[in-house]
Amino acid sequence: MQIFRLIGRAESKRDNETKAGDSEAGFTLVELLVVLAIIALIATLVAPQVLRYLGSARTSAAKAQIKNIESALELYYVDNAKYPSNDEGLKALVTAPPRDTHWNGPYLKTTGGLNDPWGKPYTYELKADSSGVVIRTFGRDGKPDGTGEDQDVTN
């Protein structure tokens, strides 16, 4: 019985100490504001770097997609002995044009690969001498020329 009394006294003493320390537990408003200010400062320094990286990543993705489309066009050319006409465009890589009897596609799985990272369709142009094609995206702004994320990407 004496052991239980000692344990009970120790627990009540611990409870009293905890109650006395409760008044100083937690954070003050000033401490919270300082932490929020530090987080805001870090965010203002990091955000431009992240956005710049995102822009260059989209440009790199457009270059990779254009290479993928070029490879699919080469397979199309091997099967059909010609590139798709300007009217048929890049959709000929996904669905068979009516006049192509040797079409052995689809050369791309979906039409989603025919849009650039900014959601606009790639432009396709058969060269005048039918020696090749030009695949292009005008970048984020959708206008010729530009720099950074607005630059043109072509094969």
Domains of the chain: 56-155 (3.30.700.10)
Buried b (16+ CB within 10 A) or exposed e, 86-108: eebbbebbbebbeebeebebebb
How distant is the alpha carbon of residue 139 from its chain centre? 15
Which residues are registered as beta bridge partners of 19?
A: none
- 3-state secondary structure at position 133: strand
The residue written with tokens 């091997």 in the block is 78
Beta-strand runs (E) in 1-155 = 123-126, 133-137, 153-154
- In tens digits, what is the pLDDT along the chain, a chain of 155 residues? 555 555 555 555 555 555 555 556 788 889 899 999 999 998 888 888 777 777 778 888 889 999 999 999 999 999 988 888 888 889 989 888 888 788 887 888 887 778 888 889 999 998 888 778 999 988 888 788 777 777 888 88
Closest CA to 66 of 113, 128, 120: 113
Q: Is the dihedral of CA 130, 84, 93, 64 positive or negative?
A: positive
